[in-house]
Chains A and B, each alone.
Chain A
Amino acid sequence: MVSDTDLRAVTEFLYREARLADEARYAEWLELWTDDAVYWVPATTDPAADPARHLSHVYDNRARLETRVKLLQTGHRYSQEPPSSMRRLISNVEVTAGAGGEWIAGSNFLLAELAVQAGRELHWWAGRATHRVRRVNGALKMSGKTVVLVNAAEPLPNLAFLI
């Protein structure tokens, strides 16, 4: 059972995470992660997808996540230079208690991305995200984020921003 207070705290965490990603605030976004981070964007909507056997769009541990962010911070990640203008809506939030004092938060998102790096093109991204969230020294952090795009298995344009 998740209390209203916890539900609200986790939901606000999701909003904050989305806003930092939308605004290309890379260092602050990275701070939201624990050291045992797993950031996964499968290349299929099949729930049986196994990142140990199947190719993913993203399957980052902490080290690779840091590389991803550092690339964006060099100013030479031309696929995000300048960063896309983005806003995402988050809805259908469902929070359950997971193992080890973590909360599992499912949410739908709809993201408008204006890609400006080669021409101007508006891309719509949609899917369901699952966050694993826990308290670390009083602050909420995420140890996992899985993003299943509705078009995960289709040809995609650049996805170099933080989805």
Chain B
Amino acid sequence: MSRRPARVTAMPDPDAAASIDYKALVQDDRIHASLYTDPRIFAEEMERIFHRGWVFVGHASEVPHPGDFVTRHIGTEPVILVRNGDGETAVLVNRCTHRGTMLCPADRGHVRSFTCPYHGWTYDLGGALLGVPYPGGYARLDKAAHGLARAPRVADYRGFVFASLRPTGISLTEHLGAATRLIDRSCDLAPDGEVELSAGWVRHRCAGNWKMLPENDSDGYHLGFVHLALFRTVQMQYQRVVGPEHAIKAVVRDWGGGHIEIDWSPGYEGPFEWLGGASGPAVADFVAALERRDGPALARRRIVEGPAHALIFPNLFLGETNIAIVQPEAVDRCVHWHTPMFLKGAPELNGRLLRMAEAGMGPASFLMPEDLTIAGRNQLGLTARATPWLLLGRGLNRETVDPEGRTVSHVTDETTNRGFWRHLRAVMTES
């Protein structure tokens, strides 16, 4: 696979030493192309957004037993999500403290301890240094000072594990704010109240800046155009968002904090449209289980509304029946991960969710290849210097604020994009 080198596409920069003026680059109704092309901005985003803030790392169900681990990145930092002997999850930096060797090259696995292949330094599941071979070479080695670096803060919401590489700052609860309800919407569909990510991940290479993924995932305007081939080929739930503008009922919603949503459910007319339709014995046990837990009215609301379609800032995408991760790699390159969201307590639905995941996301699916083709074309188009601005004003004339303080608008409006950028600007300019 040829990996293209990062193109030099920074905008003309009269004074490289000057600090970047994010308030000038991110305006309320337009954003500057350099935000997608300037390697310095990418580096600052990694530092401020990913290496200080809360970032989604993985799901508890991926590491069910002590010693289970998966490897991930927080921004550009390689990390290991591992379950300790005491049952807690820890996020360790995937780098031996001795000579910098990556400890775990595997995507996932099970270990009793981590041993570096270079000189045999060994760490426990919490990253503490257990021992070094031939210790006589050190007058005095302070093992406590040479454990693996670890994320000082790791927190979990309904199995979704987030980490912050900074010891202080807002809590995960504050970071998520009201957007926990988006996670609830997905988890509450599971009769056992939890989702399970056990099918493995598919990773899809994108030749565009990482921000194009969350922006596109929450863009309701492109569907009838980018995905025209699919709309012309099969009947599907998203067809409720094409047709006359005034007839479309789905909405976009900005929850604040960079968390943004497309809510298709106002356009749904019955249960399971989000599942492409389902009825009868195939879902009878599932519906009965939800009714036992929640009563018939709430259960019906859940099966009509379906799971969330939302971005949890900056890198977790609740993609309806999929969970997706946005992984930045370089200013013009990122990776989109996805796995089906299995509903604990409804194993009879897993097969269907698996096939839906393959249809919707990934390099061979029926939706994402188009999205990532457009992202690649965006990255190419943004090299044009004549017109450096991207428009962000769609829907400013009609968006409203609901009683809970969320901004809501027509599904084709850029309310979500503005919410993302407003928060990004705040993070990039906070002292």
A: residues with CB less than 8 A from B are 41, 43-44, 51-59, 64, 67-68, 70-72, 74-80, 117-119, 121-124, 151, 153-160, 163
Interface of A: prevailing SS? loop
| Cβ–Cβ < 8 Å partners of A76 in chain B | 228-229, 232
A58 to B363, CA, bound (A): 9
Chain B residues 106 to 152 lying within 8 A of chain A, measured CB to CB, are: 107
10 A–B contact pairs at CB < 8 A?
A: A44-B200, A57-B363, A64-B355, A72-B229, A74-B232, A121-B2, A124-B2, A153-B107, A155-B204, A157-B207
Does B230 interact with chain A (Cβ within 8 Å)? yes
| Cβ–Cβ < 8 Å partners of A51 in chain B | 354
Asked whether B370 lies within 8 Å of A79 as measured between CB atoms, the reply is yes
Asked whether A119 lies within 8 Å of B229 as measured between CB atoms, the reply is no
B: residues with CB less than 8 A from A are 1-2, 4, 107, 198-205, 207, 226, 228-230, 232-234, 335, 339-340, 350-351, 354-355, 357-359, 362-364, 366, 369-370, 372-377, 379-380
Known: A76-B232, A79-B370, A79-B372. A156 touches B1 (CB 8 A): yes
Asked whether B358 lies within 8 Å of A156 as measured between CB atoms, the reply is no
- Name A160's contact: one of B234, B335, B369 (CB within 8 Å): B369
Give the 5 A-B CB pairs with smallest separation, nearest first.
A118-B376, A79-B369, A155-B203, A76-B229, A159-B363
Known: A57-B364, A158-B369. A78 touches B2 (CB 8 A): no
Asked whether A53 lies within 8 Å of B370 as measured between CB atoms, the reply is no
Shortest Cβ distance from B202 into A: residue: A43
Asked whether B369 lies within 8 Å of A59 as measured between CB atoms, the reply is no
Asked whether A119 lies within 8 Å of B376 as measured between CB atoms, the reply is yes
A151 to B379, CA, bound (A): 26
- Name A118's contact: one of B233, B357, B366, B377 (CB within 8 Å): B377
Shortest Cβ distance from A58 into B: residue: B364
| Cβ–Cβ < 8 Å partners of B363 in chain A | 57, 156-160
Asked whether B204 lies within 8 Å of A74 as measured between CB atoms, the reply is no
| Cβ–Cβ < 8 Å partners of A41 in chain B | 364
A35 to B1, CA, bound (A): 34
Asked whether B199 lies within 8 Å of A55 as measured between CB atoms, the reply is yes
Shortest Cβ distance from B337 into A: residue: A155
Shortest Cβ distance from A41 into B: residue: B364
Asked whether B207 lies within 8 Å of A71 as measured between CB atoms, the reply is no
19 further contact pairs, Cβ within 8 A, besides A78-B369, A119-B376, A123-B1: A41-B364, A43-B362, A53-B198, A57-B362, A58-B364, A67-B233, A71-B229, A71-B233, A77-B370, A78-B226, A78-B373, A78-B374, A79-B373, A117-B377, A118-B373, A118-B379, A156-B204, A157-B1, A158-B373
Least CB distance from B333 to A in Å reads 10
Shortest Cβ distance from B357 into A: residue: A55
Asked whether B358 lies within 8 Å of A57 as measured between CB atoms, the reply is yes
Asked whether A156 lies within 8 Å of B205 as measured between CB atoms, the reply is yes
Shortest Cβ distance from A150 into B: residue: B1
Could you say which of A68, A72, A157 has the most chain B C-beta atoms within 10 Å of its C-beta?
A: A157
Known: A55-B354, A55-B358, A117-B373. A159 touches B205 (CB 8 A): no
- Name A74's contact: one of B200, B202, B228, B364 (CB within 8 Å): B228
A159 to B204, CA, bound (A): 9
Could you say which of B233, B234, B339, B376 has the most chain A C-beta atoms within 10 Å of its C-beta?
A: B233
A121 to B1, CA, bound (A): 10
Shortest Cβ distance from A63 into B: residue: B234
- Name B340's contact: one of A55, A79, A153, A154 (CB within 8 Å): A55
Asked whether A159 lies within 8 Å of B201 as measured between CB atoms, the reply is no
Asked whether B373 lies within 8 Å of A54 as measured between CB atoms, the reply is no
A54 to B354, CA, bound (A): 8
| Cβ–Cβ < 8 Å partners of B379 in chain A | 118
| Cβ–Cβ < 8 Å partners of A68 in chain B | 366
A46 to B81, CA, bound (A): 22
| Cβ–Cβ < 8 Å partners of B232 in chain A | 74, 76
Least CB distance from A83 to B in Å reads 13
- Name B200's contact: one of A55, A124, A156, A157 (CB within 8 Å): A55
| Cβ–Cβ < 8 Å partners of B205 in chain A | 155-157
Shortest Cβ distance from A51 into B: residue: B354
| Cβ–Cβ < 8 Å partners of A124 in chain B | 1-2
Asked whether B230 lies within 8 Å of A71 as measured between CB atoms, the reply is yes
Least CB distance from A24 to B in Å reads 14
| Cβ–Cβ < 8 Å partners of B2 in chain A | 121-124
| Cβ–Cβ < 8 Å partners of B233 in chain A | 67, 70-71, 74
| Cβ–Cβ < 8 Å partners of B357 in chain A | 55
Asked whether A56 lies within 8 Å of B358 as measured between CB atoms, the reply is yes
| Cβ–Cβ < 8 Å partners of A54 in chain B | 199-200
Shortest Cβ distance from B342 into A: residue: A53
A109 to B200, CA, bound (A): 26
Known: A74-B228, A153-B107. A52 touches B351 (CB 8 A): yes
